[in-house]
């Protein structure tokens, strides 16, 4: 990922999840699949990858960030309604998070 080889990064992260589905890093790997798709501007794929973070690892530390990044992906594909709904959900569910602060700022300009 750091070397901007996003396709390889996606394959590597997915392979990690497949080999170590119960690892405490599985949610992070899934999150980085989403980030890799964002870097490739494959926003629909990113939305789905971030949804997996939210659904499969609901207690993981990456959930607030996954919701935020999902909102940004929706914004990129011109679905402002979904983007705004996700930002509001994020603020309501994680009001004290740094992601909620970003979400509030985005709502003001979107």
Q: What is the pLDDT along the chain (110 residues), one digit of tens a residue?
A: 999 999 999 999 999 999 999 999 999 999 999 999 999 999 999 999 999 999 999 999 999 999 999 999 999 999 999 999 999 999 999 999 999 999 999 999 99
Rg, Å, the chain Cα set: 14
User: Please, where are the H alpha helices in 24-95?
Assistant: 26-39, 43-56, 63-76, 80-93
CA distance 16 to 62: 17
Structure tokens at 41: 């501007």
Backbone angles phi, psi at 104, to 5 degrees: -60, -40
pTM of the model: 0.96
């Amino acid at each position: 990922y750091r070397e901007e080889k996003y396709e390889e990064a996606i394959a590597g992260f997915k392979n990690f999840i497949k080999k170590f589905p119960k690892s405490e890093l599985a949610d992070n790997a899934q999150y980085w699949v989403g980030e890799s798709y964002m870097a490739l501007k494959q926003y629909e794929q990113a939305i789905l990858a971030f949804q997996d973070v939210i659904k499969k690892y609901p207690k993981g530390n990456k959930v607030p960030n996954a919701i935020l990044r999902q909102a940004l992906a929706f914004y990129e594909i011109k679905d402002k309604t979904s983007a705004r709904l996700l930002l509001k959900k994020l603020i309501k569910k994680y009001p004290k998070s740094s992601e909620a602060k970003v979400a509030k700022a985005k709502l003001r300009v979107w």
